[in-house]
Structure 1
């Protein structure tokens, strides 16, 4: 049953939602039917563990990987047979064989060496050793050699290696050592193949989760281009999660806070008896957003994912105007709406990204293009490090933006202790912001938009 339990664990790691009750159903079914018929086992486990059609492919891949060779392993109850008992049983059996074949002065002295000389199938021993070493806990590909070494040690490789290294007293013993070297190499290859197979089952999805967790907290400004594809998927997944949470306008009916005034009025005809209750309704309007992104230097990488996140929230934030700048302010709303979002972002970064920054010139351009359209329903989000190359920052324009809008959020991709260092003029802009927050990774972006949607 340990094999089935580990297989269920592998399915969960791959993203299949398997409940404890379903796990028990699967284990009970296997107790009744056994593992003798592979086709029956596959069908029964699929019926009890797979609920979604989309998960069927993953299930079949993992089943074929995991149950390769399980017919050999199932012959023993490995949960009850401890490693030391395995070793003693093996040594006892080898001793009997040795007595039957007659004493051989140059026969292998180690238990593992004797097994290899007798051409025994080591599949069962490898599986049991892997179980004892908790190979199912493997996460990273760098652990494969470690587990292969630990399995070899549990099989008795230390004694075998000592026997191989020992000084040969005769040509026959030297020949035996050469044969043991070849046999050990074949065994090691078999062990590595088994570890690789188990890695594909248990670690492939764990490794992806580990990488995803790392990227969610990694500095967006330090991401390599090779990470963009996975990061885009993470951004869109996080945006969909938020969109699902905030897609319905909160309207409380028959729950929440009692509206006393409306309740009394509704029951006036019943001499005060409360036949009908009325509840307070809360409506959350979808915010109107103007996004302004600095795309100079390393800030451009953060801008890429901020805009991707923003435009992945179209269900809950349909009114968005987007601007990018290094020095010249450019509206890119139509480009982002009409083209594929990834292609549009790539074009924006190629055309306007990486240039030197002039916040003064950029804000002057924004004043001409968009200041008149900002009203008390508008939330302005500016992403930038406020590094202005010693130029005039035109804070007078930013003050007008603040006074005309509902709120102003300034997102800075640098850590707080870097603000106002060098050519940064963050302190000149911050008095005219509703909130100034660090925006360095995906977790920061998700938190910022979650609060924005919650309190809109």
Structure 2
């Protein structure tokens, strides 16, 4: 198949590669000139008729970090599609009256799909997906054309899958395999059931990818990519992330901590010399006629500060607090001592749950279960929590302590207790507030973020990338 060559005829294959690299950059995949040159060499070395070889070769040349493959694959499907238009293939869609433009025989089409799912013929399933989208995802079962803006065809994966209902074929396929003697025993039956489910899921993805490809041909790749390309884990907003995205975020904690630690090592290496010592410099210049040929610097005595973390663990903020606490735990070697306090309506110390070697899976559930955080209705009370923390653990804040507060500063219209916060910030060496809400929402509704920001520096940390930048800037040198 020479599709990769034909889609690039306007600007040539090098220009098409540059457009592909630019799309990767727009979606957060860092690709430099060196990687682009390597990708061009891949295009010159591989036979473009073998599309999967091209995919893997470009991925090896362009990707440098984990978590980027999903965005790469989505853009690869748009910029190096498997076909153009309806494509060509050996799988035909059965019609009711055997005419080329007649209504689709959905029952016969389901029979064809069941046979391919049973046999596991991936190439034939891909061809069938293209044919199904062309027949059902656009024209419907009765040949009624669906038109979008400007009279262009509008493709629908939902419509095609709803009419075909591939999930309902599972029992039928298993019955056919049992009748043929291909299943023996409960374990083998369950293995086969899962395999068929995976094939059905793969076919559904083929339909979705095909609809995306056809839509990109009519509306443009850039427009489709804006909504189709998934965000990388570090770009997902904490407050809108679902469970699967939060799990992916947690898997990035240790790689992120290693990167931050390596950057900190570079900063420390560059900052070994202290500030200029004017007295010693002038004294040295006496031997050179007053010209400071050999500047003298003060000896730096870097120390690792203590860290106290005070975090809101209520509601959706818990995902942000969990990720940040895991990051702090991974970076605890940068501090001489770390103490962790959680709060909802009241504060309680949970340092023992984040000690080195502690089991961190399900740690937030343990925090909510074991710590005494709720007094009345379970809604966040920043004022009461700050007051309780100052009363029971105020001695934890000293001139050697860095105070880190995590939360959205939404007080449920209760007293924010700014007086206590000022006292804590005044006693600490450094104090910072990390807020997972967008800056434009600070001060709206029950948010006391702007009032708190007058007392303590507040940083927007909606994503892991923003959080990493803030933490890197705050780490001790």
Q: 2:439 matched to 1:419?
A: no
Query: Which residue number in structure 2 is paired with residue 374 of structure 1?
Result: 397
CA separation of 1:228 and 1:397: change in aligned 2, threshold 3 A: same
1:253–1:281 contact (8 Å) kept in structure 2: no
- Deviation by residue 1:235-255 (Cα, 9 ceiling, x = unmatched): 444333222211355245899
CA separation of 1:274 and 1:421: change in aligned 2, threshold 3 A: closer
Query: Which residue number in structure 2 is paired with residue 357 of structure 1?
Result: 380
- 2:127 corresponds, among 190, 193, 196, to 190
CA separation of 1:314 and 1:210: change in aligned 2, threshold 3 A: farther
1:250–1:283 contact (8 Å) kept in structure 2: no
Q: 2:359 matched to 1:340?
A: yes
1:306 Cα deviation from its structure 2 partner: 2.2
1:212 Cα deviation from its structure 2 partner: 3.6
- 2:232 corresponds, among 204, 213, 219, to 213
> Structure 1 CA distance, aligned partners of 2:380 and 2:259?
34
1:254–1:279 contact (8 Å) kept in structure 2: no
Equivalent residue of 2:268, what SS? coil
- Deviation by residue 1:320-344 (Cα, 9 ceiling, x = unmatched): 2110011232111121114133432
- Counterpart mapping for 1:213-292 below 5 A: 213=232, 216-218=235-237, 220-248=238-266, 250-252=268-270, 285-292=303-310
> Structure 2 CA distance, aligned partners of 1:349 and 1:307?
14
- Deviation by residue 1:167-200 (Cα, 9 ceiling, x = unmatched): xxxxxxx87869xx99xx8989537489959x79
Which deviates further from its counterpart, 17-26 or 436-445? 17-26
Superposed CA RMSD in Å reads 5.8
Query: Which residue number in structure 2 is paired with residue 117 of structure 1?
Result: none
Q: 2:138 matched to 1:138?
A: no
> Structure 1 CA distance, aligned partners of 2:62 and 2:441?
50
- Deviation by residue 1:52-76 (Cα, 9 ceiling, x = unmatched): 9x99xx9xxx9xx9xxxxxxxxxxx
> Structure 1 CA distance, aligned partners of 2:318 and 2:416?
19
> Structure 1 CA distance, aligned partners of 2:271 and 2:469?
29
Equivalent residue of 1:138, what SS? helix
- 1:408 corresponds, among 427, 431, 436, to 431
Equivalent residue of 1:250, what SS? helix
> Structure 2 CA distance, aligned partners of 1:372 and 1:135?
54
1:390 Cα deviation from its structure 2 partner: 5.4
Q: How many residues in Structure 1 have an aligned counterpart in Structure 2?
A: 341
1:366 Cα deviation from its structure 2 partner: 1.4
Query: Which residue number in structure 2 is paired with residue 384 of structure 1?
Result: 407
Greater C-alpha Rg = 1
- Deviation by residue 1:102-139 (Cα, 9 ceiling, x = unmatched): xxxxxxxxxxxxxxxxxxxxxxxxxxxxxxxx994528
- Counterpart mapping for 1:36-55 below 5 A: none
Structure 1 or 2: larger helix share? 1
Query: Which residue number in structure 1 is paired with residue 141 of structure 2?
Result: none
| Structure-2-length-normalised TM-score | 0.52
> Structure 2 CA distance, aligned partners of 1:408 and 1:426?
15
Q: 2:151 matched to 1:151?
A: no
Query: Which residue number in structure 1 is paired with residue 311 of structure 2?
Result: 293
Equivalent residue of 1:289, what SS? strand
- Deviation by residue 1:9-52 (Cα, 9 ceiling, x = unmatched): 89x9899997456557667767xxx899x9xxx9xx99xx7899
Query: Which residue number in structure 2 is paired with residue 326 of structure 1?
Result: 344
CA separation of 1:396 and 1:23: change in aligned 2, threshold 3 A: closer
CA separation of 1:397 and 1:306: change in aligned 2, threshold 3 A: same
Mind listing any 5+ residue stretches in structure 2 that lack a counterpart? 6-12, 113-123, 132-204, 214-224
Equivalent residue of 2:332, what SS? coil
CA separation of 1:51 and 1:409: change in aligned 2, threshold 3 A: closer
Mind listing any 5+ residue stretches in structure 1 that lack a counterpart? 66-133, 166-173
